[in-house]
Amino acid sequence: MRYAHEVGNVRKAERALMARLPDGALMQRAAAGLASICAGLLPAVYGSRVVLLVGGGDNGGDALYAGARLARRGARVRAVRAGSKIHEAGLAALRSAGGRLLDGEAEAAIADADLIIDGLTGIGGSGGLREPHASLAAHASTAAGTVVACDVPSGVDAGTGRVEGAAVHADVTVTFGTYKPGLLIDPGASHCGVVELVDIGLGDDLPDPDVVAPWPEDVRPPEPGSESDKYRRGVVGILAGGDAFTGAAVLSTGGAVHGGAGMVRFASVAHPVELVRHRWPEAVTTVIDPGGSPGRDVLDAVGRVQAWVVGPGLGTGDAAESLLTAALATDLPVLVDADGLTVLARRRDLLLRSAPTVLTPHAGELSRLIGAGREAIEAARLEHVRRAAAELDATVLLKGSTTLVAEPDRPVRVNPTGTPRLATAGTGDVLSGLIGALLAGGMPALDAAAAGAYLHGLAARLAAAPDPARRGESPISAHDVIRALPEAFRTVARSS
């Protein structure tokens, strides 16, 4: 796992460590790591042109000391001061090593540089960049040279990933001590490029992480053993689809079939059942009489399952509410998506249960669930997914460019495999069936939701992988994601 800590916790750990170290030692550790990574990015350090964008804080000092190390190895290092303040000891070290402070001509120096180190603002920065920082960030982001951000790209909120106005677009971000949430969550994550972590000795002083992001080896879906049968592998029940939205039935069932379920039991009105039987003959189906039995009788007719998926394309009327009520009244894990979330927005009392509940909203659906504006949720996704998990006492998977998964009093899981290619109709239905299969296989709710998001994103990337005969990625559909799921499972299995 990549462990991320919020800014206040990082600051506390830094103060505790600095109290045990000689003055300036922590900054030297950071500068040494930064300089080493920068040196590796240059074809040759000697003779290379390096520009430092230096603010008045400690990040500016890190950049200056790193620049001094590169200058001692023969690089032509020039510093551009943003504002009236500068880290005087760092500047003295740079000058002593042969670097110099530019007086004007910053734009030309940036354009001509082989490597640009962004030390304008640090992890304490928030809000939009002001001048001259904004202009320097813009020049760096469009320059031909490699851009390396020091700890966090300037203009990115290290705690949340928010970007308000101008911000540096880095090729590489060198972060110190621990990851910061804003490096893992969009839009901040999209400004970071490759993130390199430099160990400066904070480990023993850091508390439990606030946010975590998995590596492939951390994703461990259930594996069948020699004693497995379809029941031991997990039976997932899906209540989805209707006469108006038949595709959701087919896609959520496909996500479960290719998501490792031992058996998929699907129930809906006649037409979606007909389509599921045709596309997924391995699914066991039950036809619901639209004017017939209440939800509890329907669940009994479906048969024994280990987890329920309720909502995709189900509708939001009385029949859908009856089915959702019955599923949430069981002692089984239940995933609620799409129309099921709309029903829950008016029946939050249904969430008063002890069994695991997974909710998979996008920002608009979450807005209805917790009464927050959609734009506010998009602007502060980490804050709102935590709030939702606490208010609803559920595992909440907030879909988006960076999918977040939260449970009360647990580190938030960040999915690193998301791709804009998933912004197409039906992919959320696939995700619901996939996570349902993982729940039925015995994974805890937080692990199932996080693993499902990881595999879902990975499958989309594999499906969109460039054809050697063409340029760029291919457009994909929800069915392409389903077809790529087996390869996604094989990819994470090879990493274990």
Please give the helix or strand (H or E) that residue 100 lies within, else none: strand 100-101
The answer to whether the annotation marks 442 as part of a ligand binding site is: no
The answer to whether the annotation marks 253 as part of a ligand binding site is: no
The answer to whether the annotation marks 62 as part of a ligand binding site is: yes
The answer to whether the annotation marks 317 as part of a ligand binding site is: no
The answer to whether the annotation marks 127 as part of a ligand binding site is: yes
**Pair of tokens at residue 323:** 């089915």
The answer to whether the annotation marks 218 as part of a ligand binding site is: no
The answer to whether the annotation marks 177 as part of a ligand binding site is: no
Task: Report the distance separating Cα 476 and Cα 414, nearest Å.
Answer: 23
The answer to whether the annotation marks 400 as part of a ligand binding site is: yes
The answer to whether the annotation marks 320 as part of a ligand binding site is: no
The answer to whether the annotation marks 393 as part of a ligand binding site is: no
The answer to whether the annotation marks 124 as part of a ligand binding site is: yes
The answer to whether the annotation marks 248 as part of a ligand binding site is: yes
The answer to whether the annotation marks 122 as part of a ligand binding site is: yes
The answer to whether the annotation marks 399 as part of a ligand binding site is: yes
E strand segments, 274-340: 284-287, 307-310, 334-336
The answer to whether the annotation marks 126 as part of a ligand binding site is: yes
The answer to whether the annotation marks 403 as part of a ligand binding site is: yes
Task: Report the distance separating Cα 9 and Cα 11, nearest Å.
Answer: 5
Task: Report the distance separating Cα 456 and Cα 452, nearest Å.
Answer: 6
Q: Provide the β-strand partners of residue 428.
A: none
Residue 356 three-state SS? coil
Residue 483 three-state SS? helix
Determine the angle formed by the axes of helices 58-72 and 25-41, rounding to 10 degrees.
60
CA dihedral 178, 184, 185, 190 (to 10 degrees): 130
Task: Report the distance separating Cα 104 and Cα 12, nearest Å.
Answer: 38
Closest CA to 386 of 409, 358, 357, 356: 409
Closest CA to 34 of 152, 124, 136: 152
Q: Is residue 2 a contact partner of residue 173, using CB atoms and an 8 Å limit?
A: no
The answer to whether the annotation marks 402 as part of a ligand binding site is: yes
The answer to whether the annotation marks 292 as part of a ligand binding site is: no
The answer to whether the annotation marks 401 as part of a ligand binding site is: yes
The answer to whether the annotation marks 154 as part of a ligand binding site is: yes
Q: Is residue 245 a contact partner of residue 280, using CB atoms and an 8 Å limit?
A: no
Q: Is residue 156 a contact partner of residue 7, using CB atoms and an 8 Å limit?
A: no
The answer to whether the annotation marks 360 as part of a ligand binding site is: no
Q: Is residue 102 a contact partner of residue 78, using CB atoms and an 8 Å limit?
A: yes
What is the residue type of 424? T
| DSSP type of residue 146 | E
| Neighbouring residues of 312: CB distance < 8 A, sequence distance ≥ 6 | 240, 241, 245, 248, 249, 251, 252, 337, 338, 339, 340, 428, 429, 432
| DSSP code per residue over 250-278 | HHHHHHHHTTT-SEEEEEE-HHHHHHHHH
Q: Is residue 307 a contact partner of residue 281, using CB atoms and an 8 Å limit?
A: no
Number of other residues whose CB lies within 10 A of the CB of residue 420: 10
Q: What are phi and psi of 105, to 5 degrees?
A: 60, 25
Residue stretches of the annotated binding site for K(+): 59, 118, 154
Residue stretches of the annotated binding site for AMP: 399-403, 428
Residue stretches of the annotated binding site for (6S)-NADPHX: 58-62, 122-128, 151, 248, 313, 362, 429
Residue stretches of the annotated binding site: 58-62, 118, 122-128, 151, 154, 248, 313, 362, 399-403, 428-429
